[in-house]
Structure 1
Amino acid sequence: MGEHAAVAAVDDPVTVDRIAADLRELGVEAGDTLLVHTSLSELGWVAGGPQAVVDALQRVVTADGTIVMPTHSTQYSDPSVWMNPPVPDDWIPQIRESIPPFRPEVTPSRGMGAVAECFRDYPNAVRSRHPLYSFAAWGADAEDIVADHSFENAMGEESPLARVYDRDGSVLLLGTDHASNTSLHLAEYRADLDAGRVTETAPVLRDGERTMVEWTDIEHESGDFLVAGSTFEGQRPESVETGEVGAGTATLVDQPALVDFAAEWMADHR
């Protein structure tokens, strides 16, 4: 929603205190490992914008827990397959040769929302090294969750998603739905699927020098994520809590239960 609609959606400004209270009511607790996907515009008019959301999350989870957010930077994908919009063919070599190397500390995310972009730059937040599919984390286990993020199979077993799973973490969909739930990508790797593979390249910084790296990955598919997630909610209601944060719908999901369910569901339905 636009800013006029955001004002109209709430009777009072959505504050840090209100967001924190709503999160606790939903079931978020101190010490949780929480993988967060957000749409700030769905929460109504937030006093302080994305900073207020991050502050509230940190207040509730505390430094004894860990907050994780996707900070993907798809501007480092292959420009020859860009479609929205496509770029002229003669631009493609220039883009590949000139784009600055991915640097976790400074490279902006793309399409992840204002909250994730704000969060990645917070004090003591750390970010994984993957040039396309990085995650940022803050809190007790932040370093361990983002460490050694494999370029190959980037959302599989050697990814922050799997580290959240190992810690019996939760997914918080804050004004979003399962269509953007990255944990369902982990289910793709664990499902019995005959997924195709693609080769990716991107520039990174190594020993102060711009270096091209190449890796392979499965062909990710998110077209059925909404159906898979909705089916999970219907069949496993004990693993899901729903409520409101500000004006937005919020869903708190047991991540390991979701991934296990979705891996079987994808094997049966894809």
Structure 2
Amino acid sequence: MTGIDTGTSTSPGTGPGVRGGGSASGPHLPTELAAQLRALGVGPGGVLLVHASLRAIGTVVGGAQGAVLALEDALGPAGTLVMPSQSWQLCDPQYLDDPQVPAERRDAVRDALPVYDRDWTPSRTMGAVAEVLRTQPGTVRSAHPHRSFVARGPAAADLLARHDLDDPVGEGSPLARVHALGAQVLLLGVGYDKCTALHLAEARSGLPVARVPNGAPLLLDGHRVWVPFEEPAVDDSDFLALGEAFAVTGRERSGQVGGTTARLVDVRELVDFAAAWFARTRVPRA
């Protein structure tokens, strides 16, 4: 499940450092973080897809709430902040294949899962920053019960309007709109292995993709219904290597934000590069 942030992932910086004031050791003021984000290149009025680890950033005044305020400050009122808010606890137990759930209990677990509720269903392992954005007044959430995104800002409703059950990270997902709108991707204290936009690159690589069965509990006509579907199998095992290859091109900006390294990239450049890279590296060579 790419985009999952346990709060412990960090990765070393590449490229020139960019600083905007403040102390590397903290406590970090939201205004200082916002200045560092602007110095890094976050564009006011743009769309910003963020994957963040609060633990990596360090002590922020206001905690995760302060971090969200810093991101929104850097974007300004015309900007739109986007984050993954996956709730994969609602996946089919058979799909998750959790060893802690024995085979004889999986039907019972499936029947007991609560329905997906955009307002109430919490994200799981997305990190404190994403969860705070999810609960912020004015935030919009997409309809997918496992792979949802949240967004806040003028473009939020447009970004999240479509999220197909059977295409959660491809052309039927908010990632396609993020790409169409020319968003930036910010990896704040995490590596490319957390970058959900790379799944869109998988979909656009032209490689054959296996489909796997899944399902979710949804509310239909006032009743809980288990809805089965198939979705593309995804593979993030080479995302870190992809990130290293992309950084070499010089199209990644990196610098200090708070106590961690931040990476900022253009989503179109990243996805287009990655789609070609996957097509080349994932195909067995003769």
TM bracket (short chain): over 0.9
> How do 1:1-270 residues align onto structure 2 when only pairs under 5 Å count?
10-82=24-96, 85-235=99-249, 237=250, 239-270=251-282
Please name the residue that 1:5 is paired with. none
SS in structure 1 at match of 2:135: coil
Counterpart code for 1:71:
S
Q: Is the 8 A contact 1:241 1:253 kept in 2?
A: yes
Compared CA separation, residues 70 and 11, structure 1 to 2 (3 A): closer
Identity fraction in percent: 44
Counterpart code for 1:249:
T
Counterpart code for 2:86:
H
Q: Which moved more, 1:20-29 or 1:181-190?
A: 20-29
Which whole-Å deviations, capped at 9, do the CAs of 1:5-64 have from their partners, x for residues lacking one? xxxx95431111111111111111210110000011001111211100111111121231
Q: Is the 8 A contact 1:62 1:139 kept in 2?
A: no
Cα distance in 1 between the residues matched to 2:93 and 2:143 = 20
Which whole-Å deviations, capped at 9, do the CAs of 1:219-264 have from their partners, x for residues lacking one? 11000011112101112x1x32111110010000010111011011
By relative contact order (CA 8 Å, sep 6+), the higher-ranking structure is 2
Cα distance in 1 between the residues matched to 2:230 and 2:105 = 24
Please name the residue that 2:3 is paired with. none
Deviation above 3 Å: which 4+ runs of structure 1? Answer: 9-12, 81-85
Query: 5+ residue gaps in structure 1?
Result: 3-8
Q: Is the 8 A contact 2:49 2:185 kept in 1?
A: yes
Cα distance in 2 between the residues matched to 1:251 and 1:119 = 20
Q: Is the 8 A contact 2:26 2:258 kept in 1?
A: no
Cα distance in 2 between the residues matched to 1:104 and 1:43 = 28
**TM-score (norm: length of structure 2):** 0.88
Counterpart code for 2:67:
V
Counterpart code for 1:233:
A
Cα distance in 2 between the residues matched to 1:136 and 1:207 = 24
Which whole-Å deviations, capped at 9, do the CAs of 1:183-237 have from their partners, x for residues lacking one? 00000100121221112111112232212222221111000011112101112x1
Query: 5+ residue gaps in structure 2?
Result: 1-6, 9-22
The two structures, once aligned, show a CA RMSD in angstroms of 1.6
Cα distance in 2 between the residues matched to 1:123 and 1:68 = 14
SS in structure 2 at match of 1:120: helix
What is the CA distance between 1:75 and its match in structure 2? 0.5
Cα distance in 2 between the residues matched to 1:16 and 1:49 = 9
Compared CA separation, residues 186 and 11, structure 1 to 2 (3 A): closer
Q: Is the 8 A contact 2:25 2:259 kept in 1?
A: no
What is the CA distance between 1:109 and its match in structure 2? 0.6
Counterpart code for 1:37:
H
